[in-house]
Amino acid sequence: MDSQVKAFLANIEEGPAYSKSTQLAYAGDLRVFLAYVVKRFQRTPRIEDLDEEIIADFLKAEIDSGRRKSTLLRRLAALRRFVKFLVSSGAIPTDGISLEAVVTATRLGLNSESSNTACLSSSQVEDLLDVMNISSRPRAQRDRAILMLLLETGLSVGSLTALDLVDIDLEANCLRVRANGGETGWFSMGAAGRYVEKYILGGRQDLIRRPDDPALFISQMNGRVSRQGIWQILHQWGRSARLPFSLSPRLLRNTAAWRMAQAGRPLAEIQVLFGHSNPLSTRALMRRLDAQCPEM
């Protein structure tokens, strides 16, 4: 990702739209972001690391560190310009990152109520399921399966959207997860299994247009649900359930980690499911959640 940042900075330096001070500020903002990604993954950042989740988590960390609102908004502006540059240069697909979702996550994070929300409570999870259960539409079956898989496994949005039918074993109630190193493992779907089975046998059949489509989660527009689509799905259901904050993948991953830890799942298993290359990242996450999440 470092080379793409350099190309972006060279691009804005050549254009007349940005003052020298803005160029320097954007350069500083992106250096801070890259440093965060390095610390998060314990390796050199890659372009595929850039998604809504890592951007939202970065901005949340900046909020927690006490950055001023003006600094946060400038950080966001730099990242938005960088993403637009990547799209225009063909480095990432046009639907790869939802700028709207990033803006929403950041703006909501600027108020104390949402910035202090680390996990969903059991009652909030029940509220979400109650709202989803009212609908008989095929997409509601799909969305319930998505919600429960995120809550039971803590998968990243990228890993979730990459799932194929062959990655699901309904009889064993397991799904296959590909770790950062390329290795694969099978992990329990827990309570999500029955929702995934109901979706595969029912809702997916109504959504799919190509019988040979390998994707597990199908978009209403046909084809695999995108990462942007997952953000929009969660945001819409969060509003329907009248949650006092924006429902995001980060909140669901935090909740999943906390639930798994409370259930006694091994830290090494949580590390693989969360895609952490370094166990220290998983331990740091659990320490933070231990201090912020309520008892289940």
CATH number of the domain within which 104 lies: 1.10.150
Identify whether residues 169 and 245 lie together within a single domain: yes
Identify whether residues 47 and 176 lie together within a single domain: no
Residue 73 C-alpha from the chain's centroid: 21
Q: For the residues 232-249, what does the mean pLDDT come to?
A: 88
Decide which of 115, 135, 162 is a domain's last residue.
Answer: 115
pTM of the model: 0.65
How far apart (Å, rounded) are the C-alpha atoms in residues 134 and 278?
41
Q: For the residues 184-195, what does the mean pLDDT come to?
A: 90
Helical pair 267-274 and 249-262, crossing angle rounded to 10 deg: 160
pLDDT at 295: 58
pLDDT at 39: 87
pLDDT, tens only, 101-160? 555 554 544 443 344 567 888 888 899 999 999 888 889 999 999 999 999 988 888 889
| Spatial CB neighbours of 31, under 8 Å, sequence gap ≥ 6 | 5
Whether residue 225 contacts residue 147, with contact meaning beta carbons closer than 8 Å, is answered with no
List the structure tokens of 164.
């194929």
Identify whether residues 77 and 148 lie together within a single domain: no
Identify whether residues 99 and 143 lie together within a single domain: no
66 has pLDDT over 80: no
Starting at the edge strand that comes first in sequence, how are the strands of the sheet with 168-169 ordered?
Answer: 168-169, 174-178, 184-188
How far apart (Å, rounded) are the C-alpha atoms in residues 96 and 165?
22
Identify whether residues 195 and 288 lie together within a single domain: yes
Identify whether residues 129 and 273 lie together within a single domain: yes
Decide which of 115, 136, 167 is a domain's last residue.
Answer: 115
Whether residue 230 contacts residue 155, with contact meaning beta carbons closer than 8 Å, is answered with no
50 has pLDDT over 80: yes
Which CATH number belongs to the domain containing residue 262 in this structure?
1.10.443.10
pLDDT at 291: 74
Identify whether residues 164 and 240 lie together within a single domain: yes
DSSP labels, 79-121: HHHHHHHHHHTTSS-TTSS-HHHHHHHHHHHTSHHHHT--S--
Residue among 24, 1, 3, 2 at smallest CA distance from 12: 24
Q: Give the residue numbers spanning the domain of 62.
A: 2-115
pLDDT, tens only, 76-105? 888 888 888 888 888 877 655 665 555 555
Instruction: Count the domains in the chain.
Output: 2
Identify whether residues 126 and 111 lie together within a single domain: no
pLDDT at 258: 87
Whether residue 274 contacts residue 154, with contact meaning beta carbons closer than 8 Å, is answered with yes
Identify whether residues 95 and 170 lie together within a single domain: no
Q: For the residues 18-45, what does the mean pLDDT come to?
A: 86
Identify whether residues 127 and 83 lie together within a single domain: no
Identify whether residues 105 and 192 lie together within a single domain: no
Identify whether residues 215 and 262 lie together within a single domain: yes
